[in-house]
Amino acid sequence: MTTVLSELSLMLTDPLMQRALLAALLVGVSAPVVGTYLVQRKLSLLGDGIGHVALTGVALGWLVGAAMGVVPDDALAVPGAVVAAVLGAVAIEVVRERGRTSGDLALALLFYGGIAGGVLLIGLGGGSSGSLMQYLFGSISTVTPADLVLTVVLSAVVLLVGLGLRAALFSVSHDEEFARASGLPVRTLNVAVAVVAAITVTVSMRVVGLLLVSALMIVPVAVAQLVTRSFRRTMLVASVVGVVVCVLGLSFTYWNNVSPGAAIVVLAIATYLLVAVLRPLWVRRRPRVARDPHPDIPDDVELDLVPSGANRTTGGDSCSA
């Protein structure tokens, strides 16, 4: 017991792990918030497409940094990823809205073009495809104080938009036509979702990597949907699950030489499978309670429900539930 406590104390006092854990905490909170809207809009793979475009931004930032003589060469990688991801997300939203090509085709173009552009540009910048590995799968050793500051700022933007505009964004995500008929700025809100998704991808790439960031946005939401019914509770539970898997997965990599992104995603999927297995037992034992769908509206008709198969005679009429 003493050994375990000493190891935990050593981990928590390590400046590198302090930065990494704080970044993981911010990513765990913010990524599922955006993922909840993407799941509602049936755009679960959007994060993957944006992640591939962000890879081109990483390489472009590397190329510009090398041309300017910036030290280290990848100092502009994260800002380049932010710019490229935002532009790519807006582009795919414009294509989706105008309907000139299907959503899956647009995502495929982002997938292949993003990876090809990233590998090509990193070569022109004097690097190699191996230089992109830390961005593809995450690396806690690359979280610098400057990266942490940028992560805090971008996470604050994601949470401000995702939570501050929750009602409007939910309306657009749930029924776009109804939201447009209600007078909401649907196009602006759709672009806002795309932009915060792009920001979330770039925020998360240091922790889980660009190839796995979509899983962190989607899997906690899938877990939450197994145990909740409302949109607000789904978002809350998903954020809690995101924080837990990020912190535990990152802590696991402190004692084991494995990819933090892979550890976090595997833990998230294992959580989903565990909840999915246990859910039937929980649902079976939960008592069924009749609910009034509109409790604020007075009822002008009262129904006396009886068990199935039983008959009750009132006033000469026979009725069955």
What is the per-residue pLDDT across 152-199, written as a single tens digit (0 to 9) for each? 888 899 999 989 888 898 888 888 888 888 888 888 888 888 899 988
pLDDT of residue 24 exceeding 70, the answer is: yes
Spatial separation of the C-alpha atoms in residues 27 and 17, rounded to whole Å: 15
Q: What value does the mean pLDDT take over residues 243-261?
A: 85
Confidence of residue 318 (pLDDT cuts 50, 70, 90): very low
Q: What pLDDT was estimated at residue 113?
A: 81
Q: Are 20 and 182 in contact (CB under 8 A)?
A: no
- What's the confidence (pLDDT) of residue 174? 83
Instruction: Give the helix/strand (H/E) hosting 263.
Output: helix 260-285
- What lies within 8 Å, CB to CB, of 310 at 6+ separation is 320, 321
Place 302 in a pLDDT band, splitting at 50, 70 and 90: low
Higher pLDDT, 230 or 126: 230
- Contact at 8 Å (CB) between 56 and 121? yes
What is the residue type of 172? V
pTM assigned to the model = 0.78
Task: Summarize the confidence of residues 74-92 as an average pLDDT.
Answer: 84
* Cis ω for the linkage preceding 72 (within 30 of 0): yes
Q: What is the mean pLDDT of the chain?
A: 79
